[in-house]
């Protein structure tokens, strides 16, 4: 929003001859006009900052969703452990993203590989960045770390969580976000002076940057650690180790769904941007459309998974439906702002198929991921990157990214194959970078005996062996002390008996 100007000299010439001091009158009017114009500009900044902060709060609320989803997906004996790791992701991620991560991601001016300013948020306040930007991007960084924690749940030492979470949020993830989201990034669609294949990578809210990074990191962690005890029998056949609470899984899924409305629409960063001044259509319209595409992709994936798993397993499984829903969200995240609502339905349908196929492959190769995080975020995230390159609409790409109105867009929308080529490169470099950094980290932790817990601890459960007790109190000692007798119902008896 630019400051409107008023010329007192020009305005004075419009006053009639009866005006005593036309220049003084014109100066007064222009001063008042300038004050009103500045107030409008300040209001615009305040609205955009409030919108971004509210979006950041929504994205941060996804940590509650991750915590509930993870807790419900593991066995009861490991509930405290997985809840603590989710708290740790946010806390350790906050410190290390403040010290290093935000600077590596958005410290400008910089080179195409990594940022080099704003360490510890020094001199962050500028025309384009403020503290609200840090908070929003931190919420994204800890989301990537939360994805990885699900892949290595129920068998990982606490110190390993500290090390990998700090390294991922402080270095690995920020470098990737610099490549694709910083105006200086070598593959960023915002780097208008040096666009990769004249288009850059359009990963609007992070199917690749967030979900693939977390998914690939989790893939290496789970591969190097190996499957949980009992996950596969002596013949290699998969044995279900079901989570202890479908209720928590559903609660966590709804919390993540709610938070995704900050994740995707919030990635515009601003809302008060008119596309055609004086009309009802502006960035606020694009924000609404982005929320719609997000909803449709997730809903379609959930229904497709529901019926797909019914055919394959013969059951209506709520946990599978929740994972399918999240897979649709992970896939649409890249193209949510640049595709039509009908295309989001295509995205969600294919995302469900990709997730089911990845899970089948995981069982075949004896890969154990308690939350299907690597398959869901890695596999569906990669599909989302390809999907965007196929269905991105020219008009929406220009509105979201600016630059040349003729810049390449989706292949199926008549935009040629340049965007698809850029997105294939994105998938390859993310897999390569995360593998080259997180793979060796997990390997070193394993060699130092800092990665996996002992077999005894795993069988007993980490809540009891590592965290001082179970998450749930199955017996209320206080009520027994006061003489209250608990009663239980025997399975084959209709008469309650006293529990002595």
**pLDDT digits 0-9 by tens, 321-347:** 999 999 999 999 999 999 999 999 999
Averaged pLDDT for residues 440-459: 95
Q: What are the DSSP calls for 394-461, one per residue?
A: HHHHHHHH-S-TT----GGGT--SHHHHHHHHHHHHHHHHHHHHHHHHHHHHHHTT-SBPPHHHHHH-
Averaged pLDDT for residues 34-57: 89
Q: What is the pLDDT of residue 485?
A: 46
Whether the per-residue pLDDT at 265 is higher than 70: the answer is: yes
Residue 127's contacts (CB-CB under 8 Å, 6 or more residues apart) are: none
Whether the per-residue pLDDT at 479 is higher than 50: the answer is: no
Averaged pLDDT for residues 415-428: 96
Q: 34: which 2 tokens?
A: 């300038």
Q: What is the pLDDT of residue 500?
A: 38
Q: What is the pLDDT of residue 118?
A: 92
Whether the per-residue pLDDT at 478 is higher than 80: the answer is: no
**Cα(372)–Cα(160) distance, rounded to whole angstroms?**
20
Is residue 309 within 8 Å of residue 315, measured between CB atoms?
yes
Averaged pLDDT for residues 378-390: 97
Maximum pairwise Cα distance, the chain: 106
**Cα(290)–Cα(339) distance, rounded to whole angstroms?**
8
pLDDT confidence bin for 18, thresholds 50/70/90: low
Averaged pLDDT for residues 128-133: 90
Is residue 164 within 8 Å of residue 346, measured between CB atoms?
no
Residue 201's contacts (CB-CB under 8 Å, 6 or more residues apart) are: 180, 187, 188, 189, 208, 422, 423, 425, 426
Q: What is the pLDDT of residue 496?
A: 45
pLDDT confidence bin for 494, thresholds 50/70/90: very low
165-207 pLDDT tens trace: 999 999 999 999 999 999 999 999 999 888 899 899 999 999 9
Residue 491 phi/psi, 5-degree rounding, is: -55, -35
Q: What is the pLDDT of residue 480?
A: 46
Averaged pLDDT for residues 304-317: 93
**Cα(208)–Cα(377) distance, rounded to whole angstroms?**
9
Q: What is the pLDDT of residue 426?
A: 97
Above pLDDT 70, what percent of the chain? 90
Q: Which of 15-24, 121-130, 470-479 is predicted most confidently?
A: 121-130
pLDDT confidence bin for 491, thresholds 50/70/90: very low
Q: 210: which 2 tokens?
A: 């967030």
Q: How many residues does the chain have?
A: 500
Any long-range contacts for 111-119 (C-beta under 8 Å, 24+ apart)?
Answer: 111/184, 112/179, 112/184, 112/185, 112/186, 112/191, 112/194, 113/175, 113/178, 113/179, 113/186, 114/174, 114/175, 114/178, 115/174, 115/178, 115/182, 115/184
Q: What is the pLDDT of residue 489?
A: 44
Reference 336, options 207, 434, 452; nearest CA is 207
Q: In Å, how far are 264, 274, 348, 381, 409 from 333, measured between CA atoms?
A: 6, 23, 11, 8, 17
Reported pTM: 0.89
Q: What is the pLDDT of residue 201?
A: 96
At CA 445, angle to CA 444 and CA 450, rounded to 5? 150
**Cα(393)–Cα(379) distance, rounded to whole angstroms?**
24
Say if residue 261 is exposed, middle or buried (CB neighbours under 10 Å; 0-12, 13-18, 19+).
middle
Whether the per-residue pLDDT at 488 is higher than 70: the answer is: no
> What's the gap between Cα 189 and its chain centre?
19
What residues form DSSP beta bridges with 497? 488
Q: What is the pLDDT of residue 486?
A: 43
pLDDT confidence bin for 370, thresholds 50/70/90: very high
**Cα(109)–Cα(178) distance, rounded to whole angstroms?**
12
H helix runs in 118-245, sequence order: 131-151, 158-167, 173-181, 213-225
Q: 444-473: buried (b, 16+ CB within 10 Å) or exposed (e) per residue?
A: ebbeeebbbbeeeebeebbbebbbeeebee
Q: 229-240: buried (b, 16+ CB within 10 Å) or exposed (e) per residue?
A: eebbeeeeebee
Whether the per-residue pLDDT at 318 is higher than 90: the answer is: yes
Averaged pLDDT for residues 253-272: 96
Whether the per-residue pLDDT at 93 is higher than 70: the answer is: yes
Q: What is the pLDDT of residue 29?
A: 77
134-172 pLDDT tens trace: 999 999 999 999 999 999 999 999 899 999 999 999 999
**Cα(408)–Cα(413) distance, rounded to whole angstroms?**
10
Q: What is the pLDDT of residue 124?
A: 85
Q: What is the pLDDT of residue 495?
A: 43
What's the alpha-carbon Rg for the chain, to the nearest Å?
27
**Cα(358)–Cα(350) distance, rounded to whole angstroms?**
12
Q: What is the mean pLDDT of the chain?
A: 89
Half-sphere exposure of 193 (CA within 13 A, CB side): 5
Q: Choose between 218 and 126: higher pLDDT.
A: 218
Whether the per-residue pLDDT at 499 is higher than 70: the answer is: no
451-464 pLDDT tens trace: 999 999 999 999 88
User: Which stretch of 206-210, 274-278, 436-440 has the lowest confidence by average pLDDT?
Assistant: 274-278
Q: 453: which 2 tokens?
A: 């817990």
């Amino acid at each position: 929003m630019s400051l409107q100007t008023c010329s007192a000299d020009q305005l004075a010439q419009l006053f009639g001859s009866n005006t005593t001091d036309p220049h003084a009158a014109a100066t007064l009017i222009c001063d008042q006009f300038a004050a009103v114009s500045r107030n409008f500009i300040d209001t615009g900044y305040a609205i955009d900052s409030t919108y971004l902060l509210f979006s950041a709060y929504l994205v941060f609320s996804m940590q509650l969703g991750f915590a509930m989803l993870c807790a419900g997906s593991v066995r009861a004996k490991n509930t405290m452990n997985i809840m603590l790791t989710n708290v740790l992701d946010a806390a350790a991620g906050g410190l290390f993203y403040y010290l290093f991560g935000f600077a590596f991601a958005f410290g400008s001016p910089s080179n195409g590989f990594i940022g080099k300013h704003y360490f510890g948020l020094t001199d962050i306040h500028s025309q384009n960045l403020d503290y609200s930007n840090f908070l929003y991007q931190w919420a994204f960084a800890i989301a990537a770390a939360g994805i990885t924690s699900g892949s290595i749940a129920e068998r990982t030492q606490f110190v390993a969580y500290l090390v990998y979470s700090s390294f991922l949020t402080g270095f690995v993830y920020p470098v990737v976000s610099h490549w694709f989201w910083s105006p200086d990034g070598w593959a960023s669609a915002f780097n208008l002076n040096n666009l990769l294949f004249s288009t850059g990578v359009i990963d609007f809210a992070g199917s690749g940057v967030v979900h693939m990074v977390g998914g690939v990191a989790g893939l290496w962690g789970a591969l190097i650690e190996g499957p949980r005890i009992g996950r596969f029998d002596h013949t290699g056949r998969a044995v279900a180790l079901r989570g202890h609470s479908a209720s928590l899984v559903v609660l966590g899924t709804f919390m993540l769904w709610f938070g995704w409305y900050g994740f995707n629409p919030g990635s515009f960063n601003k809302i008060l941007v008119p596309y055609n001044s004086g009309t009802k259509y502006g960035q606020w319209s694009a924000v609404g459309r982005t929320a719609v595409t997000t909803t449709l992709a997730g809903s379609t994936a959930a229904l497709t998974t529901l019926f797909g798993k019914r055919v394959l397993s013969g059951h209506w499984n709520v946990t599978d439906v929740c994972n399918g829903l999240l897979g649709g969200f992970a896939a649409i995240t890249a193209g949510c702002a640049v595709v039509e609502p009908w295309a989001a339905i295509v995205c969600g349908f294919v995302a469900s198929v990709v997730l089911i196929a990845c899970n089948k492959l995981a069982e075949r190769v004896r890969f154990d991921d308690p939350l299907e995080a690597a398959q869901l975020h890695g596999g569906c995230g990669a599909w989302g990157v390809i999907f965007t390159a196929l269905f991105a609409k020219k008009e929406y790409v220009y509105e979201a990214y600016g630059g040349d109105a003729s810049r390449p867009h989706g292949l199926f929308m008549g935009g040629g194959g340049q965007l698809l080529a850029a997105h294939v490169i994105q998938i390859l470099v993310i897999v390569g970078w995360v593998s080259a950094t997180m793979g060796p980290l997990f390997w070193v932790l394993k060699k130092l005996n800092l990665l996996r817990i002992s077999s005894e601890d795993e069988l007993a459960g980490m809540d009891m062996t590592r965290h001082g007790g179970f998450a749930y109190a199955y017996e209320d000692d206080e009520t027994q002390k006061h003489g209250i007798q608990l009663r239980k119902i025997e399975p084959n008896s209709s008469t309650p008996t006293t529990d002595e």
